[in-house]
Amino acid sequence: MCGIVGALAFKGSSFEVTEPYLVAMRDAMVHRGPDGCGVWVAPDRRLGLGHRRLAIIDLSEAALQPMSNEDDTVWITFNGEIYNHLELRAELLALGHRFKTDHADTEVILHGFEEWGIDVLGKLRGMYAFALWDTRERTLWLARDRLGVKPLYYSAHNGRLTFASEIKALLRDPQQKRAVNEEAFFHYLSYLTTPAPETLFEGIRKIPCGCVLKVDERGEIFERRYWDVWDHTEPLTGATEEEVCERLLCELREAVTLRKIADVPVGCFLSGGIDSSTNAQLFGEGEGGRVKTFTIGYDGQYGSYQNELEYARIASQHAGTEHHELLLTIDDLMRFLPKMIHLQDEPIADPVCFPLYAVSKLARDNGVVVCQVGEGADELFCGYKRWGVLVKLAQMSGWPVPRVFRQAMVGLLDLVGKRETAPREWVRRSADGLPIVWSGTEAFTSTGKDALLSPRLRKEWKGRSSWEAVKPTWDRYQEKAWEKSPQNWMAYADLNLRLPELLLMRVDKMSMGVSLEARVPFLDHKFVEFAMSIPSALKTKGGQLKYPLRQAVRGVIPDALIDRAKQGFGVPVYEWLFDRLGERARRETDALCANSDLFDADAVRKVLNSPSKGNDHWVLLNVAMWWRHNLCGESFDV
């Protein structure tokens, strides 16, 4: 796992790529690669690549990057892991290719590109973001993995295109503009993150998951989607429940086994839920030594969040792991806030960034360089309590109720003071003929968001909504999905927005902040393709969420963990808002409102004076601190 950067000077531009220019960008991400670094600039100074190395596979000097093929006609800078690299290496050797490294996965991509062109992407099994320069075609390729586990940003400006694993690297370019992308800001208030391909920085974009960019010397950028889960699903309508569950466990075991591959110590995050407990159990199978597991809790008792330490201990004892725990306090959070904003690059309005960073540091401090995490299972198998309710509401939304009655219900909810509530939003969407779910996590409703915007932005965005950001995903779903059900739509929507741009983004930024690689077995693309082939009725059979996964792992992990109530990885934000966190939120948002034209100050204060809206406070605090750090240039002590 690493950090990558680079620049391409467009034809006719006077800009030249230099080593100091690349090094300044590259070394803004030392935390992504403390084990080494490299830079390569083409002889004509039209193209340059940089790399920070976190050594995981093939620790030798031969595996340093940027890396080229034998005749230096193809160059690559690569971030990620290719889990089937040994299999691909054997195939390429049989085709006559010769390797200069012992077993570096990066070199497999180089020779794969020589053999299959950019279609090599279809052969890779792993997580990755890479830039590949073809000197013969004078073409730059930028690719992001199928599920978006690894981020990749780029910016075209002043006669050049720059790219990097993190936005902070792009900002080292003195000519990179720093301004708010107001469209992205509008969507951020709905989704807690900015949907790809936009970022909150005007002019800086991110490659969507499963997509590849081709950039030529003229500055022409061509984007195409090379993977969509619906192109790789085979409906399991004829399989028995037992067959589905048996294959599910087999596919998951393979995904976990592949993610053991490393030349450094590997461990697991462990919460005591079904996903992480299964992960730790399967990971420990066949291991010679004890697997290290890591859990975070909070010092004290809170009504909004209950520690899961007891369940994590049960899972650890059953799997025989070497278990480590850490208790956090509000003092830890307040100290971490500036560093969190710096690492995030743009707001990721999920307070789980805090414990994620802490558990990542706990693992790194205990000698582990790679950890497996459980993201993705709830989205694939309808595992959230809220989703169970939304599935029923979506089914009801399909009833043949005349639109006029739905519109009347919207008016009635307005009359009784429910104008900014989620139920009113769902009814309005239904009345407009739209799905009631746009993302697995949503912040402000359309009316609530309109109230927050400054008069200028309110006027500018009148008549528009954040449905625009998810409509392309909906269109693909309508065209390709073999079974159109609420469960499938919610899973597909999250595979394209919430997972890559919120949940996986927070995992990448927080884990790499301490130079730890995070691997996600539940989002192995083969496992995802299988999961999306399971009929929706089986995923919620008998009203039980996550039904096939529960059945598949029964006997693998203790029943006490399978049958316990669902509890997410959380933070006691509600209680802490009555303490210094609330004071910090008011101070930061006051400064933002006074010095920008994004929010209506009175509406913001109204939200902050409503303690029942703790998550909304976090959304506003994040963007306010981001604005001060990145646009006002106020350095945080990180």
**Alpha-carbon Rg for the chain in angstroms:** 24
Task: Indicate the range of 42-51, 300-309, 371-380, 592-601 predicted with least confidence.
Answer: 300-309
Contact 165, 29 (CB under 8 A): yes
Across the chain, mean pLDDT equals 94
Which candidate, 124, 210, 201, 115, places its Cα nearest to that of 166? 201
% of residues, the chain, pLDDT over 70:
98
Task: Indicate the range of 135-139, 423-427, 568-572 predicted with least confidence.
Answer: 568-572
Look at 208 and 564; give whichever has higher pLDDT: 208
C-alpha separations of 195 from 212, 235, 472 in Å: 17, 29, 11
What pLDDT digit, counting tens, does each position of 440-466 carry? 889 999 999 999 999 999 999 999 999
Spatial separation of the C-alpha atoms in residues 638 and 352, rounded to whole Å? 19
pLDDT over threshold 90, residue 303: no
pLDDT over threshold 70, residue 288: no
What pLDDT digit, counting tens, does each position of 570-599 carry? 788 888 988 899 999 999 999 999 999 999
Query: pTM of the predicted model, to two decimals?
Result: 0.96
What pLDDT digit, counting tens, does each position of 163-178 carry? 999 999 999 999 999 9
Calculate mean pLDDT across residues 544-566: 93
Look at 481 and 635; give whichever has higher pLDDT: 481
Calculate mean pLDDT across residues 230-238: 91
What is the DSSP pairing of strand 322-328 with strand 292-298?
A: parallel
What are the DSSP calls for 59-73, one per residue? -SGGG-SSEE-TTSS
Spatial separation of the C-alpha atoms in residues 500 and 196, rounded to whole Å? 9
Calculate mean pLDDT across residues 331-359: 96
User: What SS3 class is residue 444?
Assistant: coil
Confidence of residue 326 (pLDDT cuts 50, 70, 90): very high
Show the 3-state SS of 175-239. CCCCCECHHHHHHHHHHCCCCCCECCECCEEECCCCEEEEEECCCCEEEEECCCHHHHCCCCCCC
pLDDT over threshold 70, residue 610: yes
518 - beta bridge partners?
A: 371
Phi-psi bin for 360: left (phi > 0), alpha (psi -120 to 50), beta? alpha
Calculate mean pLDDT across residues 102-122: 96
pLDDT over threshold 80, residue 273: yes
Spatial separation of the C-alpha atoms in residues 359 and 372, rounded to whole Å? 12
Confidence of residue 304 (pLDDT cuts 50, 70, 90): confident
Cis peptide before 197 (omega within 30 of 0): yes
pLDDT over threshold 70, residue 188: yes
- Give the best-scoring range by mean pLDDT among 76-90, 286-300, 407-421: 76-90
pLDDT over threshold 60, residue 251: yes
pLDDT over threshold 80, residue 428: yes
Determine whether 371 is an active site residue.
no
Calculate mean pLDDT across residues 34-52: 97
The predicted structure's pLDDT at residue 638 = 46
Q: Give phi and psi for 90, each to the nearest 5.
A: -60, -40
pLDDT over threshold 50, residue 35: yes
Q: Give the active site residue among 2, 37, 211, 245.
A: 2
